[in-house]
Amino acid sequence: MILTQEQKLNILLGLFVAAIVAANLLGTKIANLWFVVASVGIFMYPITFLVTDVVEDVFGKEKVKGFVIAGFLAIIFVMLFTILSVLLPPASRYPFNEEFLTVFNPSIRIMIASLIAFLLAQYHDIWAFNFWKKKTKGRFLWLRNNLSTVVSQFIDTTVFMFIAFYMATPTYTVDFIFALIIPYYLLKIFVAVCDTPFVYLGVWWLKGEKPKKK
Q: What's the burial of 62, exposed, middle or buried (CB within 10 Å: 0-12/13-18/19+)? A: exposed
Residue 194 forms part of a structural domain: yes
For residues 74-90, b (16+ Cβ closer than 10 Å) or e, as one string?
bbeebbeebeeeeeeee
User: What was the pLDDT predicted at 213?
Assistant: 44
Q: What is the C-alpha to C-alpha distance for residues 53 and 200, in angstroms, rounded to an integer?
A: 10
Residue 133 forms part of a structural domain: yes
Residue 66 forms part of a structural domain: yes
Q: How far is CA 90 from CA 25, 55, 99, 171, 214, in A?
A: 20, 43, 12, 33, 52
| Containing structural domain, residue 162 | 5-207
24, 12 Cβ separation under 8 angstroms: no
- Alpha carbon of residue 203 to chain centroid: 19
User: What was the pLDDT predicted at 51?
Assistant: 93
Outline where DSSP puts E strands in the chain.
30-33, 36-39
Nearest to 113 by CA among 149, 164, 47: 164
Residue 212 forms part of a structural domain: no
Residue 166 forms part of a structural domain: yes
- Total domains in the chain come to 1
Max intra-chain CA distance, the chain:
64
Parts of the chain with a pLDDT under 50? 210-214
Residue 87 forms part of a structural domain: yes
For residues 150-170, b (16+ Cβ closer than 10 Å) or e, as one string?
eebbbbbbbbbbbbbbeeeee
Residues 6+ apart with CB under 8 A from 103: 28
Q: Which CATH number does the domain housing residue 180 bear?
A: 1.10.1760
Residue range 51-98, pLDDT digits in tens: 999 999 999 889 999 999 999 999 889 888 888 998 999 999 999 999
User: What was the pLDDT predicted at 9?
Assistant: 93
